[in-house]
A and B are shown apart, each in its own frame.
Chain A
Amino acid sequence: MKQRLIVVALLLGLFAMLALGLRKDPHEIPSPFIGKTAPDFRRPLLTDPQRSFSPADLKGQVWLLNVWASWCSACREEHPALLELSRRRVLPVVGLDYKDETAAAKEWLQQQGNPYGTVVVDPDGKVGIDWGVYGVPETFLIDRQGIVRYKHTGPLTADVLETRLLPLIAELNKP
């Protein structure tokens, strides 16, 4: 009788683990960058190719890097959340326009509204590879020391913004 109970308990445990596993998103891959220095790059700006941006320019500030593209439909989905974040002016929001056409990207920002203080272009996707990007949109939060503190894969939502991102930004922004 006791043995049978143990077997049933083991099976139930197995089912519970499988059920939990089914609810997890297999596309959420833990980023190896958390706690590490953000990869460096220098790329031209979307609006003015004569000028360029590098993460080093923002050293000493908490900032956000959002990887997006005009061809990415999930980016449209997260746009309201990004606009909301930019409205709050809590930190500089940098957009990395990943493997995109300049004209299409500009038009997209004109139509949807521009949440970014700076937009950098990455036409061949090399910066994306260096940052371990595997599916746009992806969002990175970088602290004053230039260390990646948080990464969100997939579209940002109001919920992620309120419960994860904003509290973390407030904490990192504390003097």
Chain B
Amino acid sequence: MTLALTLPTPSAAGWKGLLLGLLLLTLMQASPLRAELSTEEVKASPAVEARLVAIADELRCLVCQNESLSASRADLAKDLRREIRTMIADGKSDQDILDFMVARYGDFVRYRPPFKASTALLWLGPLLFLLGGGLWLRHSLRQRAARTAETAVAPVAAANESQSNVHPAPATTTADSQTAPPAPVRLSRRSAWTLTIALPLLTLLGYAWLGNPLALNPANRRPPDDPAAMARSIEQLAERLQKQPDNQEGWLMLARSYRMLGDDTRAADAFARAGNKAHGSATLLAEYAEVLASRDSSFAGQATTLLSEALGKDPEDGLALFLAGAAAAERGDRAAARKLWQQLLPRVEAGSEAEATLKAAIDRLQQTSAKR
């Protein structure tokens, strides 16, 4: 990661350079929108990348075990992707590559382990559970049927029926003569069938309604791996939101996405449409202020108001502190700028480049104010 180490003059122009350096290092959380594959090693041809993704989707990242090798940012995952690229370039088949991985990391590395003695229980387990459950259900239904029949018969045939109560049929015939209805037997059997059919059906319906069948394909689960695809998905969100002007949550998401892409004008617009939601936290307010200031090349006006609102919510918020300091510097209020940035200092990692940059900026403020 290269740093923009522009030292800020106490004017509007300088703060963005420092912001970049500082933010990248300390304040910014990893953006979920930034896909790993796009920022990685020099890309091979699209065909190789497509094969890499197809293979790596089937493989588990050994470090963050619930992530596939194609989505993981771990160093080892990067190295393994590099290995796979080399093997593809060398003309190895998918099976060769899979064998290479399994030889080193075992079946664990595969999301779909092969069927063999040691994995049989894994594959057949669910089926066994279903079978066992079904048998148990049948057994208990039969028993209950027998018991209801027996109680119906009890007054008359208690003596001669006592040992053959396993099967309901004879009991029912005797019960008929007593005009006791055999209904309970049939009802429980019918409800068993209804349950057997209705339950999976309801599950499927529920999934179709709430779930996303597209997600069953692993290729669709990966984050978009090139900026163009990311921009497209953001455009889709924007289009959808045109029809839902009241969806503040959606607008907020769109605003933050535009901010990530560096589209300040659209980000500012979307933040405005997010209404109350954009005022939800100090960080959000600071982000809103940042895009406004970036768009107008000045903190004057709404950006400054938003920043004081942000610091009112959380006087310790890193981004808000930093931007408020920059805003104060822009106004020429060096004392305030220094104070705000000094508050930020303990939040920056000690000994880091960001700390040095920030200290240099504070020193500079001190010098220029001393000259006056």
Residues on A close to B: CB < 8 A? 3, 26-27, 29-32, 99, 124-126, 129-132, 134-135
Contact = CB atoms under 8 A, between A and B. Distances in A.
Contacts of B63: 134-135
Contacts of A99: 75
A32 B76 contact: no
A129 B104 contact: yes
Contact of A26 (B65, B103, B104, B105): B65
A32 B103 contact: yes
Interface string B97-121: 0000011111010000000000000
A8 to B, nearest CB: 14
Given A3-B140, A99-B75, A130 B65 contact: no
Given A27-B65, A32-B105, A132-B104, 15 more contacts: A3-B140, A3-B143, A29-B108, A30-B106, A31-B106, A32-B103, A32-B106, A125-B75, A125-B79, A129-B79, A129-B80, A132-B105, A134-B76, A134-B105, A135-B62
Given A29-B62, A30-B108, A129 B103 contact: no
Interface residues of B, number: 16
B83 interface: yes
21 contacts: A3-B143, A26-B65, A29-B62, A29-B105, A29-B106, A29-B108, A30-B106, A30-B108, A31-B106, A32-B102, A32-B104, A99-B75, A125-B76, A125-B79, A126-B83, A129-B79, A130-B104, A132-B104, A132-B106, A134-B62, A135-B63
A106 B293 CA distance: 49
A29 B80 CA distance: 17
Contacts of A29: 62, 105-106, 108
Contacts of B62: 29, 134-135
* Those 9 A-B pairs whose CB atoms lie nearest each other, nearest first: A134-B62, A132-B104, A32-B106, A29-B108, A125-B79, A132-B105, A134-B76, A30-B106, A129-B83
A132 B102 CA distance: 9
A109 to B, nearest CB: 22
B268 to A, nearest CB: 42
